[in-house]
C-alpha cells in the first residue's frame, strides 16, 4: 500500500463518446490477445491498491486532518517514520496487529504534536466503505484489459484488519493474481514480492506493466525489468496505460443501459421518421439505448448511419397539464442556441403521437464529460475552480439573454417570481406534509417577511447544477447545458442559490430528479427535514448579518418618561424627562435598527406606547390601592371586579394582547403584531404595575400558553382554548415542576401520560403551578412523560387538560415569602387518573421538550422586560422619597451613600435594559434559537439587578419599604422568585458559559 500520493480518481463520467469512429477503429486494433509496443509484448497489468485502485492513505489523511484540525501532513510523516522498521511497514508485514499498530502509531503522532491524536478515527475512515471504494475509471479499465485477454494482478502493501481479514476492498474476481504484503510478510519495494507476483502470473518482467503511486516501488519494479506507470491521478494513468497497450480502456456510451421492456419504442417507425428527418437513404441498423437519468421524460441514445442522436419523449399515460412539457424544452433550447448559450443542437419536435406513441424531440449528441460528484474528487483545487468558474460563466450567459430578441418574452409570467415560488412551495409542502417539521414552519413564516427587495426577470434554468452540464474533455469549458424541463422566466437569483446548494449538502445526499424513484420517495421526509434545518440555519445567519451591520441608534435621540405621577401614594413623584434632543425624528422606524427609546419607535407603535402610558396613569396606578386591598381581603380567591372592569377598558382602547410576537403571528391574526423590541418597551411600561399585565391580557402564564397554541395548536385546539384566552374570558396554567425531582432539569419530570383506548391517562404530582387556583382557570397545559425509554429529549409530551376533568386535586396554595398571590396563586396539585381525549395532545407524543423550549423563548424575556419596569418604578419611588424625607437636618438625598445608590441603580437599569432590547432585537432578526445566548444572559442578569435596585429603594424608604403601603415589598418578592420561576440563575449561567466556550474560543 503506497502512502505518498494524494490523488484520487476524478471519477469523471464519460457521457458521450468523443469520436465514435476513432473508438471503433481502436476496438478493431485491440481485438487480439497480446499487445505490442516498441517491440515489447504485454500480457499483464499489475496494480498497486492504495492511490491506484482506491484512495491512498495520504489522501484520506489529508481529509481527516482537516476535519480533526490536525496539522496537515502529520499522518503522512508518521506513516513514513522509521522506514522499514517503522510501525506502518511492520503492520504491512503483519509483524504487529491492528491494535499494536494503533497504539504505536498513536504514540508517535502524539509525540510529534505534543497532544493526543485520535488515530483510531483515522484508521476507521481509511477502512470505511465510504472511502475505500474502487475508482470507476479503474474498474472500466480492468474490464477492458481482461476483455482483450490480458491478465490482471493486484500487488498491494496491505494489512490485517482487527477482524483478522486482510484489507482488500476490491472485487477479487477482477484479478487473476492477488499478492498481499500482510500474507507474505514481505513489502514492496522488496524485490521478492514482485518476483512472487510475476511467478504467479507465469510471466517475464518485460511482459507486464506495473502501476503504483510511489516512486520507490516503481524504481524497484523498473530495476527488475517491469514496465512502470507512475500514478498521480488514475484518470491520467489510464490514458498512459491506453497508450502503452494500444487499445482504448473506456468504451461504450456511459450512463446508458439496454432499453427496459416497459420503455421500448417502435424502432421501425422511428427509423423511418429519422431517415426522412436526416435525409438519408440507407442507414444500417438503428442502435437504441436508454439513459439512466431522465426519469421524468424518458431519454434515449440513438445511433443511426453514423449519426449520434438523443431522443427525449413524454412518458406514456395521462399527464398533468403543466408537466413533461417537452415542447417547452425544445423551444427554449432552439431560442438559446441563437443567443449563443451552449445547448445541444435540437433537430426536430415531433408532436405526432403515432410515430412512437408520445410526442418527442430529437437533438444531436454533445460529446464531453459530465462531472457527477459536485465535490470533484481527485481534481486539483485550481482545476475545480476553473470548472466552477466555467459553470458560473455559462449561468451569467443564460441570465443575460435578451428575452425580446430571442422571442421568449411569453415563456413565463414576468415579475413577482420569488413571492410566487414561496407561495407555491408552501402550497406543495402543505399538500404533501405528513408530520410537522419545526424548521419548515419557521421558514414558512420567515420567508415571506424576508424576500429580496429587487427583482429581475430573465430566463431561469430551474435545475442548474453541475451534472446538467457537459464539459469539454480537456478544457474547463461548458459545451452544453442540459435538462431544461423546469426552465421558465424568473429571478436569476433562484438559479444562483440552487447551484450553490451542492456546496452545503453532504456528498451522500441523494439527488432528486424529476419524479423521484420510490427509494428516494421513502427518504423524502428525512431529506425535507434536513434541508429545512439547513435553510433555517441560513435564515439565522442572515439575521445575524443584518444585526451586525445595523447602524447604531444615536443615543442622543433617547427620550422617555417614567410612569410616576404625584396623585397616588403608590407613585409619589412627578414625571422625568431624559433627553438631550426632545423628540426623535418621525422618520425613525422601529423595524430594522435597535430602538432603545420608546420615542424612536415607529409612529403607530409610539402612539400605542403613549396610549398605554396614558392608560397606566389614568386607570391602572389609581386602581392599585383598591386592587391591593382586594388581594388582602377574604374575597381574594375570587377575581376582583375592578380588574374585570379595567380589562374591558383596556380592550376598548386597543391595549389588548400586545404580547404575541409578529414572528409567531405574521398575519396579526391574534395579536397586535409587534416585534419583540416594540413589545419590550410596552411590556416594561406594564411592568411598572403588578396589575397592568393582567389588565392588558399580557400576563404569564397565559401569554406563554397562548403563544404555544398559536405556534403548535391544531385548529380545533385553537378554537377551544386560544380564543377564550385571547378574549380574556378564561385563564390557564402550565404544569411542569414536581416536588420529588429537580425540575430545573425538565428531563427529570416523572408524571406519566399513558395511552388507554382513545384517551391519555395522567398521573403525577406537581407544584408551584401559577394560576391554577384561579376560578377562571379553564386550561392546564400539562407536561409529562409518554415514553420513559425514548431518548432523553423525546420522552416528554404536552397535553391540554381541561381544568374540570375529574382527578385534578389541588392540595394547597403555596406562598412566596408569605404572599399567596391570589386569586391565581401557586398550587400544589395531584393528577390522579385524569383522562384526556387523545386529540388534546400538542404536536404529538415526544415533542414536549421542543414545545417547552418554544413556549419559554419570548415568554421568558417578558419577565425581564417587566423587571426593568419594576426597577424603574422602584427608583422613581426612591428618588421622591429621599427628596422629601429629612434626617439629621437635611433631606436624605443629600447623603453621599444615597446619591451613590441612585447612581448605581440608574446604571444597572440601563445596562440591563440594553441587554433586554438586544436579546429582543436578535430574536426579531434571527429567531429565538440564534438569540439563545442573549436570552440566557438577560435571564441571568435581570432578576438580580431588579432585586438590588428594589432593595436599595426599600432601604431608602426605611421600614415603610417593607410594608404593603408601597409596591416595593411585592416587587422585591417577585424579583427574587423569578430567580427560580424563570429557571434558576445557575441554569442560565451554565447556558451562557457553554455558548461562550462553544462559539467564542
Ligand atoms: C413564584 C414561582 C412560580 C412558579 N410557577 C411555575 C409554574 O407555573 N409552572 C411550573 O411548572 N413551575 C413553576 N415554578 C417552578 C420553577 O419553574 C422551578 O422552581 C424551577 O424550574 C426550579 O426547579 P426546582 O424548584 O425543582 O429546583 P431544583 O431543580 O431542585 O434546583 C435547585 C437548585 O439547584 C441549583 N441548580 C439547578 N441546576 C443547576 C445547574 N445547572 N448548575 C448549578 N446549580 C444548579 C440551583 O441553585 C437551583 O435553584 C414556579 C416557581 C416559583 C418560585
Q: Which helix (H) or strand (E) element contains residue 309?
A: strand 307-313
Q: What spacing in Å lies between the alpha carbon of 872 and ligand 1's midpoint?
A: 26
Q: How far is the CA of 977 from the centre of ligand 1 (A)?
A: 10
Residue 536 CA neighbour count, 13 Å, CB half: 19
The answer to whether 135 touches 53, Cβ cutoff 8 Å, is yes
**Res 783: pLDDT:** 96
pLDDT at 427: 93
Distance, CA 849 to ligand 1 centroid (Å)?
A: 16
If you measure from the C-alpha of residue 827 to the centroid of ligand 1, how many angstroms do you get, rounded to a whole number?
15
Q: What is the mean pLDDT of residues 513-523?
A: 47
What pLDDT digit, counting tens, does each position of 885-932 carry?
999 999 999 999 999 999 999 999 999 999 999 999 988 887 777 888
pLDDT band at 466 (very low <50, low <70, confident <90, very high): very high
| pLDDT score of 593 | 66
pLDDT band at 414 (very low <50, low <70, confident <90, very high): confident
Q: Give 785's strand partners.
A: 752, 796
What single string gives the DSSP state of each residue in 105-156? HHHHHHHHHTS---HHHHHHHHTSTTTS---HHHHHHHHHHHHTT-EEEEEE
Beta strand 227-230 with 208-212 is parallel
Q: Which three cell numbers stand for residue 856?
A: 419559554
pLDDT value of residue 583: 31
Residue 9 has pLDDT above 60, yes or no: no
> Ligand 1 pocket test: which of 690, 733, 742 has the largest number of ligand atoms within 8 Å of its C-beta?
742
Q: Which of 70-74, 304-308, 855-859 has the highest mean pLDDT?
A: 70-74
Q: How many Å lie between the centroid of ligand 1 and the Cα of residue 974?
A: 14
Closest-lying ligand 1 atom to the alpha carbon of residue 771: 8
Whether the pLDDT of residue 304 is over 90: the answer is no
CB-based contact 722:710 (threshold 8 Å): yes
**Ligand 1 atom 17: residue of nearest CA:** 981
CA 738–ligand 1 middle distance (angstroms): 10
- The answer to whether 869 and 686 are in contact (CB under 8 A) is yes
Average pLDDT, the chain: 85
Distance 218 CA to ligand 1 centre (A): 71
Confidence class for position 599, pLDDT limits 50, 70, 90: confident
For the chain, the helix, strand and coil percentages under 3-state DSSP, each to the nearest 5:
45, 15, 40
**Probe ligand 1: pick from 984, 992, 993, max atoms within 8 Å of CB?**
984
State the closest ligand 1 atom to the C-alpha of 742, by its place in the atom list counted from 1.
29
Question: Among the listed ranges 2-11, 278-287, 992-1001, which one has the minimum average pLDDT value?
Answer: 2-11
Reference 286, options 298, 301, 303; nearest CA is 303
Matching residue, cell 438580580: 944
Cα of 607 from ligand 1 centre, angstroms: 39
pLDDT band at 320 (very low <50, low <70, confident <90, very high): low
pLDDT reading at 372 higher than 60: yes
Give CA–CA dist 117/127, Å, rounded.
18
Least confident of 19-33, 276-290, 335-349, 919-933: 19-33
**694 in Cβ contact with 752 (< 8 Å):** no
Nearest to 945 by CA among 879, 862, 865: 865
The closest-lying atom of ligand 1 relative to the alpha carbon of residue 821 is 1
Task: State how far the Cα of 480 lies from the Cα of 473, in Å rounded to an integer.
Answer: 12
What is the residue with the minimal CA distance to atom 24 of ligand 1?
743
pLDDT of residue 549: 61
Query: In whole angstroms, how far apart are CA 770 and each of 649, 707, 826?
Result: 25, 17, 4
Q: 86-100, 180-194, 589-603: which has the minimum mean pLDDT?
A: 589-603
DSSP, res 586? T
- Asked if residue 647 has pLDDT above 50, the reply is yes
Residues in contact with 337: Cβ distance below 8 Å, sequence separation at least 6, in sequence order: 343, 345, 346
Judge contact between 469 and 392, C-beta under 8 A: no
Tens of pLDDT, residue by residue over 76-90, are 999 999 888 999 999
Ligand 1 centroid distance, CA of 979 (Å): 8
Q: How far is CA 903 from CA 947, 949, 959, 963, in A?
A: 16, 10, 22, 25
In the predicted structure, residue 534 carries a pLDDT above the cut 80: yes
Across 374-388, 691-705, 730-744, 868-882, least confident range: 374-388
Backbone angles phi, psi at 537, to 5 degrees: -60, -40
Nearest C-alpha to atom 7 of ligand 1 is from which residue?
A: 769
CA of 769 to the centre of ligand 1 (A): 12
- Of all protein residues, the one whose alpha carbon is nearest to atom 21 of ligand 1 is 744
Is residue 546 predicted with pLDDT exceeding 70? no
pLDDT at 514: 38
Q: What is the band of 292 on the pLDDT scale with cuts at 50, 70, 90?
A: confident
> What would the DSSP string read from start to end of 699-711?
-TTHHHHHHHHHH
User: How many CB atoms are closer than 10 A to CB 339?
Assistant: 17
- The pLDDT score that the predictor gives to residue 229 is 96
The predicted pLDDT at position 664 comes to 76
Q: What is the pLDDT of residue 590?
A: 45
Neighbouring-strand partners of residue 310: 301, 363
**Which atom of ligand 1 approaches the CA of 733 most closely?**
8
Q: Would you give the DSSP letter of residue 832?
A: E
Residue pair 744/990 in contact by the 8 Å Cβ criterion: no
Distance 986 CA to ligand 1 centre (A): 10
Convert the pLDDT of each residue in 374-397 to its tens digit. Answer: 888 878 889 999 999 999 999 999
Helix (H) or strand (E) holding 183: helix 181-184
Q: Pick the closest to residue 692 from 707, 682, 702 (CA basis).
A: 682
Distance 173 CA to ligand 1 centre (A): 66
Residue 579 has pLDDT above 50, yes or no: no
The sign of the torsion formed by the CA atoms of 877, 878, 883, 889 equals: positive
Beta strand 808-814 with 826-837 is antiparallel
Counting DSSP H helices and E strands in the chain, the numbers are: 31, 28
Work out the percent of the chain whose per-residue pLDDT is above 70. Answer: 87
pLDDT of 318:
66
Peptide bond into 174 cis (omega under 30): no
Pairing label, strands 777-785, 35-37? unpaired
748 within 8 A of 766, measured Cβ to Cβ: no
φ/ψ of residue 608, rounded to 5: -60, -40
What pLDDT is stored for residue 562 in this prediction?
26
Query: 172: pLDDT confidence band, cut at 50, 70 and 90?
Result: very high
The Å distance, Cα 744 to ligand 1 centre, comes to 5
Within 339-473, residue ranges assigned H as helices are: 381-399, 417-432, 438-449
| Range among 437-451, 519-533, 535-549, 785-799 rated most confident | 785-799
How big is the CA angle at 294 (ends 288 and 300), to the nearest 5 degrees? 10
Q: Is the pLDDT of residue 93 over 60?
A: yes
Between residues 132 and 319, the one the model is more confident about: 132
Q: Is there a contact between 719 and 849 (Cβ–Cβ < 8 Å)?
A: no
| Ligand 1 atom with least separation from CA of 739 | 26
Q: Which atom of ligand 1 is nearest to the CA of 772?
A: 8
Lookup: cell for 184: 507474505
Q: What is the C-alpha separation between 981 and 866, in angstroms, rounded? A: 14
Q: Which of 708, 736, 744 to mutate to test the pocket of ligand 1 (most atoms within 8 A of CB)?
A: 744
Average pLDDT of span 254-282 = 86
Measure 313 CA to ligand 1 centroid, in angstroms.
66
How confident is residue 831, by pLDDT bands cut at 50, 70 and 90?
A: very high
Kindly state the average pLDDT of the residues 649-669: 87
Flag whether pLDDT at 569 surpasses 90: no
Q: How many residues does the chain have?
A: 1001
Task: With a cut of 70, say whether residue 67 has pLDDT above it.
Answer: yes
How far is the C-alpha of 602 from the C-alpha of 599, rounded, in Å?
8
Instruction: Tell me the best of 981, 988, 993, 994 to mutate to test the pocket of ligand 1, counting ligand atoms within 8 Å of each CB and taking the most.
Output: 981
pLDDT > 50? residue 528: yes
Asked if pLDDT for residue 36 goes beyond 60, the answer is no
3 state SS of 984: coil
Is the distance from CB of 152 to CB of 53 less than 8 angstroms? no
Identify the residue with better confidence: 538 or 322: 538
Nearest-CA residue for ligand 1 atom 44 is: 986
| Angle 666-672-673 from CA coordinates, rounded to 5° | 25
In this structure, is the dihedral angle defined by the CA atoms of residues 833, 837, 838 and 841, taken in order, positive or negative? negative
What separation, in Å, do the N-terminal and C-terminal C-alpha atoms of the chain show? 40
Alpha carbon distances (Å) from 894 to 886, 900, 961: 10, 10, 20
Alpha-carbon gap, residue 45 to 198, rounded angstroms: 11
pLDDT band at 12 (very low <50, low <70, confident <90, very high): very low
Residue identifier of the C-alpha nearest atom 22 of ligand 1: 744
Q: Minimum mean pLDDT among 20-29, 113-122, 435-444, 940-949: which range?
A: 20-29
Average pLDDT over residues 447-454: 82
The answer to whether residues 901 and 595 touch, using CB atoms and an 8 Å cutoff, is no
Give the span between the Cα atoms of 384 and 374, in whole angstroms.
9
488-490 vs 458-460, strand pairing mode: antiparallel
What is the rounded distance in angstroms from the CA atom of residue 511 to the CA atom of residue 519? 12
Pair 777, 768: CB distance under 8 Å: no
What's the Cα-to-Cα distance from 3 to each of 27, 53, 215, rounded to whole Å?
Answer: 35, 13, 11
Instruction: Give the span between the Cα atoms of 766 and 737, in whole angstroms.
Output: 6
CB 4 within 8 A of CB 56: yes
Alpha helices per DSSP H over 30-118 = 57-67, 74-80, 87-92, 98-113
Report the half-sphere exposure of 585 (CA within 13 A, side-chain side). Answer: 7
Asked if 923 and 676 count as a contact pair (C-beta separation under 8 A), the reply is yes
**pLDDT tens digits along 779-791:** 999 999 999 999 9
**Per-residue confidence at 817, pLDDT binned at 50, 70, 90?**
very high
pLDDT digits (tens, 9 = 90+) for 154-167: 999 999 999 999 99
Neighbours of 105 (CB within 10 A): 24
177, containing H or E segment: strand 177-180
User: Is the pLDDT reported for residue 363 higher than 60?
Assistant: yes
Residue 571 confidence (pLDDT) above 60: no
Average pLDDT over residues 435-453: 84
The C-alpha cell of 426 is what?
Answer: 408552501
By DSSP bridging, strand 458-460 and strand 469-471 are: unpaired
Cα-to-centroid distance, 735 and ligand 1 (Å): 13
Bridge partners for 782 per DSSP: 735, 799
Q: Is the pLDDT of residue 195 over 80?
A: yes
- Mean of the pLDDT values across residues 688-694? 97
**CA nearest ligand 1 atom 52, residue:** 981
| 560: CB partners within 8 A, 6+ apart | 578, 579, 597, 598, 599
Residues 6+ apart with CB under 8 A from 148: 30, 31, 32, 33, 35, 245, 247
d(CA 294, CA 313): 10
Q: How far apart are CA 49 and CA 213, in angstroms?
A: 9
Q: Which atom of ligand 1 is nearest to the CA of 974?
A: 1
Q: Ligand 1 — pocket residues by CB below 6 A? A: 701, 733-737, 742-744, 768-770, 816, 826, 977, 980-981, 983-984, 986-987, 990
Please indicate, yes or no, whether the overall pTM of this predicted structure exceeds 0.85.
no
What is the residue with the minimal CA distance to atom 2 of ligand 1? 981
Amino acid at each position: 500500500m503506497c502512502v505518498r500520493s494524494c490523488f484520487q480518481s476524478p471519477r469523471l463520467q464519460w457521457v458521450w463518446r468523443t469520436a465514435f469512429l476513432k473508438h471503433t477503429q481502436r476496438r478493431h486494433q485491440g481485438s487480439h490477445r497480446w499487445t505490442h509496443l516498441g517491440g515489447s509484448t504485454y500480457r499483464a497489468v499489475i496494480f498497486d491498491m492504495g492511490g491506484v485502485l482506491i484512495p491512498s492513505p495520504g489522501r484520506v489523511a489529508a481529509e481527516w486532518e482537516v476535519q480533526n484540525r490536525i496539522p496537515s501532513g502529520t499522518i503522512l510523516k508518521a506513516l513514513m517514520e522509521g522506514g522499514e522498521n517503522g510501525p506502518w511497514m511492520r503492520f504491512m508485514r503483519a509483524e504487529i496487529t491492528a491494535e499494536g499498530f494503533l497504539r504505536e502509531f498513536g504514540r508517535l503522532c502524539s509525540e510529534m504534536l505534543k497532544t493526543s491524536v485520535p488515530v483510531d478515527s483515522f484508521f476507521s475512515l481509511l477502512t470505511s466503505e465510504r472511502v475505500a471504494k474502487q475508482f470507476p475509471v479503474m474498474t472500466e479499465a480492468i474490464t477492458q484489459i481482461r476483455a482483450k485477454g490480458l491478465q490482471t494482478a493486484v500487488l498491494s502493501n496491505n494489512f490485517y484488519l482487527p477482524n483478522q481479514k486482510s484489507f482488500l476492498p476490491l472485487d477479487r474476481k477482477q484479478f487473476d493474481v492477488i499478492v498481499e504484503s500482510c500474507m507474505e510478510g514481505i513489502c514492496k519495494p522488496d524485490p521478492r514480492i514482485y518476483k512472487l507476483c510475476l511467478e504467479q502470473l507465469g510471466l517475464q518482467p518485460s511482459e507486464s506493466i506495473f502501476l503504483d503511486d510511489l516512486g520507490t516501488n516503481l524504481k524497484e519494479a523498473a530495476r527488475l525489468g517491469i514496465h512502470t506507470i507512475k500514478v498521480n491521478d488514475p484518470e491520467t494513468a489510464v490514458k498512459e496505460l491506453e497508450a502503452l497497450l494500444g487499445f482504448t480502456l473506456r468504451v461504450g456510451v456511459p450512463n446508458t443501459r439496454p432499453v427496459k421492456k416497459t420503455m421500448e419504442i417502435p424502432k421501425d417507425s422511428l427509423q423511418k421518421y429519422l431517415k426522412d428527418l436526416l435525409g438519408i437513404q440507407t442507414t444500417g441498423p438503428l442502435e437504441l439505448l436508454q439513459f439512466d437519468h431522465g426519469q421524468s421524460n424518458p431519454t434515449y441514445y440513438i445511433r443511426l448511419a453514423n449519426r449520434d442522436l438523443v431522443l427525449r419523449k413524454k412518458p406514456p399515460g395521462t399527464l398533468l397539464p403543466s408537466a413533461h412539457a417537452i415542447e417547452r424544452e425544445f423551444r427554449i433550447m432552439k431560442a438559446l442556441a441563437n443567443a449563443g448559450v451552449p445547448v445541444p443542437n435540437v433537430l426536430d419536435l415531433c408532436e405526432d403521437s403515432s410515430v412512437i406513441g408520445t410526442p418527442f424531440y430529437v437533438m444531436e449528441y454533445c460529446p464531453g464529460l459530465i462531472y457527477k460528484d459536485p465535490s470533484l474528487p481527485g481534481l486539483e483545487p485550481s482545476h475545480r475552480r476553473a470548472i466552477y468558474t466555467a459553470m458560473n460563466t455559462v449561468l451569467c450567459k443564460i441570465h443575460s439573454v435578451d428575452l425580446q430578441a430571442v422571442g421568449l418574452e411569453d415563456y413565463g409570467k414576468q415579475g413577482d417570481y420569488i413571492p410566487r415560488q414561496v407561495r407555491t412551495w408552501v402550497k406543495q409542502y402543505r399538500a404533501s406534509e405528513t408530520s410537522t417539521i419545526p424548521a419548515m414552519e419557521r421558514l414558512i413564516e420567515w420567508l415571506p417577511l424576508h424576500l429580496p427587495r429587487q427583482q429581475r426577470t430573465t430566463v431561469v434554468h430551474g435545475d442548474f447544477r453541475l451534472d446538467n452540464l457537459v464539459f469539454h474533455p480537456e478544457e474547463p469549458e461548458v459545451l452544453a447545458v442540459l435538462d431544461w424541463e423546469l426552465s421558465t422566466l424568473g429571478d436569476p437569483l433562484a438559479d444562483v442559490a440552487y447551484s450553490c446548494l451542492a456546496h452545503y449538502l453532504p456528498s451522500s445526499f441523494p439527488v432528486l430528479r424529476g419524479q423521484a424513484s420510490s427509494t428516494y420517495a421513502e427518504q423524502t421526509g428525512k431529506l425535507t427535514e434536513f434541508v429545512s434545518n439547513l435553510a433555517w440555519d441560513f435564515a439565522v445567519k442572515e439575521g445575524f448579518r443584518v444585526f451586525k451591520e445595523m447602524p447604531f441608534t444615536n443615543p442622543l435621540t433617547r427620550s422617555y418618561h417614567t410612569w410616576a405621577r404625584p396623585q397616588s401614594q403608590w407613585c409619589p413623584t412627578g414625571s422625568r424627562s431624559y433627553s438631550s434632543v426632545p423628540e426623535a425624528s418621525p422618520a425613525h422606524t422601529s423595524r430594522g435598527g435597535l430602538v432603545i427609546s420608546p420615542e424612536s419607535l415607529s409612529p403607530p407603535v409610539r402612539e400605542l406606547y403613549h396610549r398605554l402610558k396614558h392608560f397606566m396613569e389614568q386607570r391602572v396606578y389609581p386602581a392599585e390601592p383598591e386592587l391591593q386591598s382586594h388581594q388582602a381581603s377574604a374575597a381574594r380567591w375570587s377575581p376582583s371586579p375592578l380588574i374585570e372592569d379595567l380589562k374591558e377598558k383596556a380592550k376598548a382602547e386597543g391595549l389588548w394582547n400586545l404580547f404575541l410576537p409578529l414572528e409567531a403571528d405574521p398575519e396579526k391574526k391574534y395579536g397586535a403584531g409587534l416585534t419583540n423590541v416594540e413589545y419590550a418597551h410596552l411590556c416594561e411600561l406594564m411592568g411598572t404595575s403588578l396589575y397592568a399585565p393582567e389588565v392588558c391580557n399580557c400576563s404569564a402564564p397565559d401569554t406563554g400558553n397562548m403563544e404555544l397554541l398559536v405556534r403548535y395548536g391544531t385548529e380545533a385546539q385553537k378554537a377551544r382554548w386560544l380564543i377564550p384566552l385571547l378574549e380574556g374570558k378564561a385563564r390557564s396554567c402550565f404544569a411542569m415542576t414536581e416536588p420529588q425531582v429537580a425540575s430545573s432539569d425538565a428531563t427529570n419530570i416523572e408524571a406519566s401520560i399513558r395511552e388507554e383506548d382513545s384517551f391519555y391517562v395522567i398521573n403525577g404530582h406537581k407544584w408551584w403551578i401559577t394560576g391554577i387556583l384561579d376560578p377562571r382557570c379553564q386550561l392546564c397545559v400539562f407536561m409529562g412523560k409518554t415514553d420513559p425509554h425514548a431518548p432523553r429529549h423525546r420522552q416528554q409530551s404536552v397535553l391540554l387538560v381541561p381544568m374540570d376533568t375529574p382527578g385534578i386535586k389541588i392540595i394547597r396554595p403555596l406562598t412566596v415569602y408569605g404572599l399567596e398571590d391570589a386569586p391565581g396563586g401557586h398550587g400544589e396539585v395531584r393528577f390522579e387518573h385524569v383522562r384526556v381525549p387523545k386529540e388534546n395532545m400538542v404536536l404529538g407524543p415526544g415533542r414536549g421538550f421542543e414545545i417547552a423550549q418554544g413556549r419559554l423563548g419570548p415568554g421568558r424575556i417578558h419577565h425581564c422586560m417587566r423587571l426593568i419596569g419594576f426597577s424603574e418604578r422602584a427608583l422613581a419611588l426612591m428618588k421622591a422619597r429621599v427628596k422629601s424625607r429629612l434626617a439629621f437636618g437635611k433631606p436624605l438625598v443629600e447623603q453621599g451613600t444615597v446619591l451613590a445608590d441612585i447612581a448605581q441603580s440608574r446604571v444597572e437599569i440601563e445596562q440591563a435594559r440594553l441587554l433586554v432590547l438586544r436579546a429582543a432585537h436578535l430574536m426579531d432578526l434571527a429567531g429565538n434559537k440564534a438569540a439563545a445566548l442573549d436570552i440566557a444572559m438577560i435571564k441571568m442578569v435581570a432578576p438580580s439587578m431588579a432585586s438590588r435596585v428594589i432593595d436599595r429603594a426599600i432601604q431608602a424608604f426605611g421600614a415603610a419599604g417593607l410594608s404593603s403601603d408601597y409596591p416595593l415589598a411585592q416587587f422585591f418578592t417577585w424579583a427574587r422568585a423569578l430567580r427560580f420561576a424563570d429557571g434558576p440563575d445557575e441554569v442560565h449561567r451554565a447556558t451562557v458559559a457553554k455558548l461562550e466556550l462553544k462559539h467564542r474560543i
